[in-house]
């Protein structure tokens, strides 16, 4: 009898342990009731720890730490399929891009996400999040030409994609932290050279325009400098002429005689040749 009790106790312990599930650190759990009045998702979020999971329940785990997902067609990145995003310019030109995305799920959103999609985080990422990002690429690309996305407008294009994807993902309970292009946006090889030549020509034209503006600015600066020099010379000449007029007006005969006396050493010329004496000595 005692042996039977021991066996039953051991079986109960084993059953209890087998039915006790763990929610690891960095995760939250959601219970799903399979039968009865409570059938469906339990909205009580299970934080990390151990929980009793009955025969009528299933436990689903969602990671809450930051996740990174890469979608690419590059086999060097471990891709076995072509996971690039495909989209079209406003003129119907087909483009594609490899993308890396960082995101996380807020714990309080987990029950609603599970009830909506009945999937774990990996499935939600590859379906729901990818669809949100694909829609964002299509919406942003539909407003732009290929060269605007392939060339200098790529940064603005990606900012538009990120903002659109964040809004759509947030509506589904997922927070996108950032989205990165892996490499450049891919365009058909047949027109890559034409696009690059057009972009280069545009950049060269912009450079020439900048150089022209600089030349015009330098020329204007030189004109201003020359005008300033000319004005300074005119002012100086006018000042000297005015001074000369003042001096000339002040030159009376008495002043001239006085200046001669001031400079005379008292000696008369030994030969005059009949010339008028340089100083009138009459009283």
Tens digit of pLDDT at every position of the chain (283 positions)? 556 555 445 444 444 444 578 888 889 988 888 887 778 888 888 888 888 888 888 888 888 889 999 999 887 776 778 899 999 999 888 999 999 999 999 898 999 888 888 888 888 899 889 999 999 999 999 999 888 887 778 899 999 999 999 999 998 889 999 999 998 888 877 666 666 666 677 667 777 777 777 777 777 777 777 777 877 878 887 777 777 777 666 656 666 666 666 666 666 666 655 555 555 555 4
Neighbours of 35 (CB within 10 A): 9
Ramachandran sector of residue 24 (left: φ over 0; alpha: ψ -120 to 50; beta: rest): beta
Rounded Cα distance between 119 and 106, Å, is 16
Q: Per-domain residue ranges for the chain?
A: 18-63, 67-187, 196-260
Instruction: Please indicate, yes or no, whether the overall pTM of this predicted structure exceeds 0.85.
Output: no
- Tell me, which fold does domain 67-187 have in CATH? Tetrahydropterin Synthase; Chain A (3.30.479)
pLDDT value at residue 17 = 44
How many Cα atoms are found within 13 Å in the side-chain-facing hemisphere of 45? 17
Displacement of CA 228 from its chain's centroid (Å): 44
pLDDT value at residue 121 = 86
Rounded Cα distance between 160 and 154, Å, is 10
pLDDT value at residue 4 = 56
Beta strands in the chain (DSSP E): 20-23, 27-33, 40-41, 49-52, 57-63, 67-71, 85-88, 94-105, 174-186
Q: Beta strand pairing status for 20-23 and 49-52?
A: antiparallel
Say how many Å lie between the first and final Cα of the chain, rounded. 171
pLDDT value at residue 283 = 45
pLDDT value at residue 266 = 63
User: Can you read off the two tokens belonging to residue 146?
Assistant: 């290929």
SS (H, E, C) 118-150: CCCHHHHHHHHHHHHHHHHHHHHHCCCCHHHHH
How many Cα atoms are found within 13 Å in the side-chain-facing hemisphere of 199? 16
């Amino acid at each position: 009898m005692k042996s039977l009790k021991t066996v039953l106790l051991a079986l109960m312990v084993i059953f209890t342990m087998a039915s006790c599930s763990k929610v690891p650190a960095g995760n939250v759990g959601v219970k799903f009731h399979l039968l009865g009045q409570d059938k469906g998702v339990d909205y009580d979020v299970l934080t990390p720890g151990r929980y009793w999971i009955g025969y009528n329940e299933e436990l689903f785990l969602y990671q809450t730490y930051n996740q990174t997902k890469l979608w690419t067609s590059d086999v060097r990145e471990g891709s076995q399929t072509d996971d690039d995003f495909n989209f079209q310019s406003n003129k119907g030109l087909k483009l594609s891009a490899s993308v890396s995305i960082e995101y996380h799920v807020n714990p309080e959103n987990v029950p609603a996400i599970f009830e909506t999609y009945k999937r774990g985080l990996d499935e939600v990422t590859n379906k729901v999040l990818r669809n949100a990002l694909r829609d964002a690429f299509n919406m942003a690309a539909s407003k732009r030409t290929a060269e605007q996305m392939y060339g200098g407008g790529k940064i603005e294009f990606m900012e538009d994609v990120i903002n659109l994807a964040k809004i759509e993902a947030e509506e589904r309970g997922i927070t996108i932290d950032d989205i990165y292009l892996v490499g450049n946006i891919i365009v058909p090889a047949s027109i890559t050279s034409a696009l690059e030549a057009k972009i280069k020509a545009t950049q060269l034209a912009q450079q020439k325009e900048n150089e022209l503006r600089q030349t015009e600015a330098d020329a204007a600066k030189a004109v201003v400098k020359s005008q300033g020099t000319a004005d300074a010379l005119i002012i100086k000449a006018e000042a000297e002429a005015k001074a000369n007029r003042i001096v000339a007006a002040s030159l009376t005969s008495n002043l001239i005689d006085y200046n001669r006396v001031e400079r005379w050493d008292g000696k008369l010329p030994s030969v005059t040749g009949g010339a008028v004496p340089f100083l009138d000595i009459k009283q």
